[in-house]
């Protein structure tokens, strides 16, 4: 009998919540019958939706919260407004209290990161958490981080992201030594900003301790899948992510327009329907929905706020996989292998800081 995985869900997070969230959970449950859900939010909206999905209702608990964090609220405002009472905070708190294995929300990204950091605290030896994205490439899926948790970084923070990303790769790709590359303006060692070159030297010396350092990679290496993990700071990573999403939509629009441009194109599209469907599935961002908050004492998944039930199903499946593969344990194990991190003392729970 497979162990039960419990997912704590912010049912009110996202543009299409709570319907898309509940519907997505019903689809995820079909694929992982050993999943249990704790839904946080306005009970009067959640319960009627659960009535539409009897199997999901039997596997779910609803915890009422009247407070919902808006998508445009600043992180500091969200903390003051929702600490301890909002659906988002309660979702994270369930992981801290070990009632759930993983938390997921499609709500305000900044607020979710602030609450997650405040509630779960960063892991010992990790200075700043990051967001990891699963990225489809010509070779296979890879991991890119940070894609927007924090703006700016130094060499040590890039090294932290390499440790976190390689641990995630070990969970997802079943590879004991995933390849790691630093995103840079060129592959030559003399190129790039000082902190990137410094991080490269540290990773070169540490290569083999839980990952294989490939060296510098450029922007086109992301789409090629040159390495398993691409490391960058949040400003560049977020621009790369949004550029890739926009390019996928642009190519899709070009293709649709070309196939509908004349009668012969439409006839050709009929004969190529199978290939076109496969291409659409491959380019569908909903199938790789879900960013993993890395470096915290607990697993938090950020779903795209504007996605539908298919996207939520993908994010919930990712949540399930992260809990099943024991991501936090993998990160700890990777850090014990890493020369600089291995000697770090274990830090006990710190007293809670006051929100800014």
The pLDDT score that the predictor gives to residue 355 is 45
The pLDDT score that the predictor gives to residue 352 is 46
In angstroms, the CA 168 to CA 288 distance is 15
1-126+295-344 sits in which CATH class?
alpha beta
127-290 to CATH, choices 2.40.10.10, 3.40.718.10, 3.40.50.2300, 2.60.40.10: 3.40.718.10
Tens of pLDDT along the chain (356 residues)? 358 999 999 999 999 999 999 999 999 999 999 999 999 999 999 999 999 999 999 999 999 999 999 998 999 999 998 888 999 999 999 999 999 999 999 999 999 999 999 999 998 888 889 999 999 888 888 999 999 888 888 999 999 999 899 989 988 888 888 999 999 998 888 888 899 999 999 999 888 877 899 999 999 999 999 999 999 999 999 999 888 888 888 888 888 888 888 888 888 878 788 887 777 777 777 888 889 999 999 999 999 988 999 999 999 999 999 999 888 888 888 777 776 554 444 444 444 444 44
In angstroms, the CA 110 to CA 84 distance is 17
User: 97: how many CB neighbours lie within 10 A of its CB?
Assistant: 9
Among 23, 36, 1, smallest CA distance to 319 is for 36
Asked if residue 36 lies in contact with residue 58, where contact means CB atoms within 8 angstroms, the answer is no
β-pairing, 142-145 vs 130-135, is antiparallel
Asked if residue 233 lies in contact with residue 158, where contact means CB atoms within 8 angstroms, the answer is yes
In angstroms, the CA 175 to CA 223 distance is 20
Q: What are the domain boundaries of the chain?
A: 1-126+295-344, 127-290
| Six token digits for residue 100 | 């759930």
Query: In a 3-state reduction of DSSP, which class is residue 71?
Result: coil
Task: Name 336's Cβ contacts closer than 8 Å, sequence gap at least 6.
Answer: 342
β-pairing, 300-302 vs 35-41, is unpaired
Cα 226–chain centre separation: 20
Q: Give the largest CA-CA distance in the chain.
A: 70
The pLDDT score that the predictor gives to residue 200 is 93
In angstroms, the CA 209 to CA 145 distance is 19
Instruction: Provide the whole-model pTM.
Output: 0.86
Among 27, 75, 36, smallest CA distance to 289 is for 27
The pLDDT score that the predictor gives to residue 39 is 98
Q: Check residue 41 and give left, alpha or beta (phi > 0: left; psi -120 to 50: alpha).
A: left
Q: Which helix (H) or strand (E) holds 328?
A: helix 327-337
Same-fold call for 1-126+295-344 versus 127-290: no
Cα 258–chain centre separation: 34
Q: Check residue 192 and give left, alpha or beta (phi > 0: left; psi -120 to 50: alpha).
A: left
């Amino acid at each position: 009998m497979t162990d039960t995985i419990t997912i704590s869900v912010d049912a009110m997070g996202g543009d299409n919540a709570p319907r898309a969230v509940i519907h997505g959970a019903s689809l995820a449950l079909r694929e992982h019958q050993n999943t249990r859900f704790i839904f946080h939010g306005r009970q009067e909206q959640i319960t009627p939706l659960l009535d539409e999905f009897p199997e999901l209702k039997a596997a779910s608990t609803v915890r009422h919260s009247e407070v919902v964090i808006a998508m445009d609220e600043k992180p500091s405002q969200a903390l003051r407004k929702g600490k301890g009472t909002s659906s988002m905070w309660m979702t994270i708190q369930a992981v801290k209290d070990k009632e759930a294995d993983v938390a997921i929300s499609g709500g305000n990204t900044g607020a979710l990161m602030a609450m997650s950091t405040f509630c779960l605290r960063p892991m010992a030896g990790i200075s700043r958490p990051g967001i990891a994205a699963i990225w489809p490439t010509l070779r296979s899926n890879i991991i890119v981080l940070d894609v927007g948790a924090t703006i700016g970084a130094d060499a040590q923070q890039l090294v932290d992201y390499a440790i976190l990303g390689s641990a995630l790769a070990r969970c997802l790709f079943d590879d004991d030594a995933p390849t790691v590359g630093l995103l840079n303006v060129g592959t030559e060692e003399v190129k790039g900003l000082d902190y990137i070159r410094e991080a490269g030297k540290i990773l070169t010396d540490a290569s083999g301790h839980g990952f294989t350092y490939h060296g510098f990679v450029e922007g086109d290496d992301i789409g090629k899948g040159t390495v398993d993990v691409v490391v960058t700071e949040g400003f560049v990573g977020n621009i790369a992510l949004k550029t890739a999403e926009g390019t996928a939509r642009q190519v899709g629009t070009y293709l649709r327009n070309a196939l509908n441009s004349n009668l012969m194109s439409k006839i050709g599209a009929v004969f190529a329907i199978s290939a076109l469907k496969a291409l659409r599935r491959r380019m569908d961002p909903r199938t790789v929905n879900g960013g993993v908050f890395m470096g915290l004492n607990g697993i938090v998944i950020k779903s795209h706020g504007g996605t539908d039930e298919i996207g939520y199903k993908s994010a919930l499946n990712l949540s399930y996989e992260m809990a099943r593969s024991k991501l936090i344990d993998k990160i700890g194990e990777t850090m014990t292998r890493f020369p600089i991190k291995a000697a770090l003392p274990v830090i006990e729970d710190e007293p809670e800081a006051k929100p800014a």
